[in-house]
Structure 1
Amino acid sequence: MGKRSWAGKTKMKVKMFIDILMTVFVLMLMAYQATGEKLHEWLGTGMAVLFLAHNLLNIRWYGSLMKGNYSLLRIFRTVINFSVFVVMLALAYSGIVMSRHVFSALPINGGMAVARVLHLAGSYWGFVLMSVHLGLHWSMITGMICKHSGEKKSEVLRWSLRLIAVLIAAYGAVSFYQADILSYMFLKVEFAFLDYEKSAAFIFAEYMAMMGLWVFIAFYVSKVLGKLSAAKFKRKRGEGARNESESRSIF
């Protein structure tokens, strides 16, 4: 029992470490003008490896897909997870085709135009979807923070974090709009216009805020869907109990 508990805790720590690394890599990948082409390719390769490890460590999730009922929240999470999976495959493919450093030795001819457009849209869709994915698990993260801060401070800390989250989301919304990200996501613009005059710190701050925006949205959407699912379950359970009572009264 002790060995299983130790193994479970170790696996959880490894999962958290990989998830933190993936979050850092996403931010660095989006800041292309700060990292440069060669480092961007190595980061992309590392991201693909981390994503593979993430899926292997969570392989049981795929086995549970056909089990249990699907609430609104579970449907939303499943759609987001598969969307991230598809986008990551598209990014890996297009990244390999476009590679000038890491995979330059591979005998790949043609497909550059399609790969470029696919990589452009996929990068921004991947950024948004992975941020949403993070937001769907944010309650677990905030719970751990509050737990380690102590019971007396947890309520104060919770409201402080909410205020900070609102400010970050507001800044992220402004940055998202100014960067015209939607035009890249829906390929209204097929070339990314990057500002190379911005400092690396400012670029990372903008993308962290934009990530915070989608974490914020996903967190509260999951709250609403969870409450709707719980209300629906209670209503069904109440109807079932009432029907059972009526059937007993007949006899």
Structure 2
Amino acid sequence: MLRLVTDRLLLPAGMATLLVLSLAYWWLDNGPHEIFGTLLFGLLAWHLSINRRWFLKLRVGRYDARRFAVVAIHTWLALNMVVLFVTSILISRSLLSFIQFTDNVSVIELHWFSAYWVVMIIAVHVGTHWSRVMAAAGTLFRLTPSRIRAWVLRLAAVMFVALGAWSFAVLGVSTKLMFGYSLDFWDFTTSVTPFFAHWTAIVAGVAVLSHYSMAGLRSAGTLRSQSRKGGT
């Protein structure tokens, strides 16, 4: 039970928390930013070690639309994490200040660009595995199926999508994802909590869209398989 909770709930939650904290660069300053980033990569290594069997099974089994989508998501996430890791080393000014390789603005912008994409893809990644997360939570809290709770969660999902869309616009994320230069930096002297609330809403909203998109692909694949069997 403890391992299930740690692997399925605590570890992903810890990684997400560190990632969002790392985005608050202008509030934390460089030192804490690099510490949180280093811890994030440490947890990522742990996460990959736990789920190493997934990589070994890539050549096994049949590929449908959903599985192709999942592999594409993981590939894009891996590429961005590599870019994020390499640029982190190159521009480090605290933990690796004694061997700082460069302070080139383009490298710094590439670092931020990959970081924002990592947030988006991790949100998609969470959505693809949301059923496992809910199953782990149900096991932990010994929840039984409930129609009322299901409708409450669906209503919450709609709210998360709406709040996520609003927060996406407030933070100007679209510009950041297009590698465009933006002067829209959050003013932490005015408020701090809303910054994290906006990013939480964005991650939750994208995860919801990802979850239902993957559910749609799974249903479409099932219907296609049934129609083929019916035609034989």
Q: 2:7 pairs with 1, 15, 22, which one?
A: 15
**2:90 corresponding residue in structure 1:** 97
Which ranges in structure 2 are unaligned for 5 or more consecutive residues? none
AA paired with 2:163?
Y
Q: Which amino acid aligns with 1:32?
A: Y
1:114-155, Cα deviation, whole Å (9 max, x unpaired): 321211210110000001101111122234445646436x22
**Residues 171, 184 of structure 2: 8 Å contact kept:** no
Q: Which residue of 2 aligns with 1:38?
A: 31
Query: What CA deviation, in whole Å up to 9, does each residue of 1:84-125 have, x standing for no partner?
Result: 11111111111111111011122x434723321211210110
Q: Once the two structures are aligned, what percentage of the paired residues are identical? A: 23
Question: Contact between 2:163 and 2:201, CA under 8 Å: does it hold in 1?
Answer: yes
Cα RMSD after superposing both structures:
2.0
- Say which of 205, 209, 231 aligns to 2:223: 231
Query: Equivalents in 1 of 2:190, 2:151: separation in Å?
Result: 33
Structure possessing the higher radius of gyration over alpha carbons: 1
**Conserved 8 A contact 1:131-1:215:** yes
- 1:216 maps onto 2:231 in alignment: no
1:134 aligned partner, one-letter code: V
* Residue in 2 that maps onto 1:5: none
CA contact (8 A) 1:120 1:190 kept: no
Partner Cα separation in structure 2 for residue 49 and residue 59 of structure 1: 15
Q: What's 1:201 paired with?
A: 193
- Number of residue-to-residue matches in the alignment: 230
> Any unmatched runs of 5+ in structure 1?
1-8, 243-251
**Contact 2:73–2:121 under 8 Å retained in 1:** yes
> Deviations for 1:53-98, whole angstroms, at most 9, x for unmatched residues?
1111111111111111111111111111111111111111111111
Q: Distance between the aligned counterparts of 1:49 and 1:95, measured in 2?
A: 14
Contact 1:33–1:196, Cα closer than 8 Å, also in 2:
yes
Partner of residue 155, structure 1: 147
Quick one: which amino acid aligns to residue 124 of structure 2?
V
- Give the counterpart letter for 2:204 in structure 1: G
Relative distance call for 1:44 and 1:196 in structure 2 (3 A) is same
Instruction: Report if aligned partners of 1:146, 1:157 keep a CA contact under 8 Å in 2.
Output: no
Cα distance in structure 1, aligned partners of 2:158 and 2:5: 29
Deviates more, 1:221-230 or 1:133-142: 133-142
Amino acid at match of 2:194: F
SS at match of 1:151: coil
The 5 A counterparts of 1:113-192 are: 113-146=105-138, 148=141, 150-151=143-144, 154-189=146-181
